[in-house]
Amino acid sequence: MNCENLKGMRCPECKSEGPFSIVSSCVAVWNDDGTDDIHDVEFDDESPCRCMNCDYCSTVGGFKEILK
C-alpha cells in the first residue's frame, strides 16, 4: 500500500499502485545545457495521470476514487 507520495492511489483498471506518469509543476534552474536542479514538484487531484503498467489514463483524483 502506498504511504508516501502516492498515498491513497491505485489504478482503477489494473489495481497497480504505481509507478504513474503524472503531469506536475515544479521549479527548475535552467541553463543552456538543460537542468539538473528540479525541486518543489507538485500535483493535485486534477493533474493528468497515466498508469505505467496498463496505460489507463485519468486524473490523480480518478486514481483515488477506487478507495472512496
Partners of 49 in the β-ladder? 22, 58
Question: Contact at 8 Å (CB) between 2 and 15?
Answer: no
Question: Contact at 8 Å (CB) between 20 and 9?
Answer: yes
Confidence of residue 66 (pLDDT cuts 50, 70, 90): low
The CA distance from 20 to 68, in Å, is 19
Q: Supply the pLDDT for residue 54.
A: 98
pTM of the prediction? 0.83
Three-state SS for 60?
helix
Q: Supply the pLDDT for residue 2.
A: 85
Residue 68, pLDDT > 50, answer no
